[in-house]
Amino acid sequence: MSAEEDAPEPEKPAGTDEESETDAKLFERWEVTGFEYNDPSTKRYITVTPVEHTMGRHAGKQFQKSEVSIVERLINRLMQTDSNTGKKQQATRIVRKAFEEVHDRTDENPIQVLVTAVENAAPREETVRLKYGGISVPQAVDVAPQRRVDQALMFLAEGAYNASFKSPTDAHEALADQLTGAANYDVQTYAVNQKEEKERVAAAAR
């Protein structure tokens, strides 16, 4: 037997084997597999991964954002408010604490709650303005699945911001309220209320 055959195989770097990848968890706590999707149209646009920061690798590509984790996209949406602009670590902490709050309330994986909330808060119809002569007329149109997910995340972030701005309610508690309310399709929740309002206006413009 030669020395090359007798030499031990080099060890794989930590975190590169298949088992470690499949066992990876979001925030080192939440499983990222086995979710239920009730809306087949938005399923391919709701990606869940254990990565919460891709460092903008999707920027500049029109449909690349759909490959980014839905959790990171929620974090990025929270950054689009006055107090959180550019503060990704702060927005990440808000989401992490909100997930812990959601788990305490529902005893479910908070990522599943987020997926259901996005599905429930995604409007199916909206209106556009068409001009006939010099008259602007509203017309109802179907919303593309990717835009549905974008708007649902926007409604959830806006609802959390509105509930916590100049209020004793902490940001993570406000976000947890939005997630649990939207997941239960509570029309009192800002995200679901905005979705219902958009669809109501579109129904009147058919």
Taking all residues of the chain, what is their mean pLDDT, rounded to a whole number? Answer: 84
For 15-63, the pLDDT digits (tens) are 444 444 446 888 888 888 889 999 999 999 998 888 777 776 766 667 7
Structural domains in the chain? 26-204 (1.10.455.10)
Q: How many C-beta atoms lie closer than 10 Å to residue 151's C-beta?
A: 20
Q: What is the pTM of this model?
A: 0.82
- Helices 88-106 & 171-183 angle (0-180, nearest 10): 50
Residue 118 has pLDDT above 50, yes or no: yes
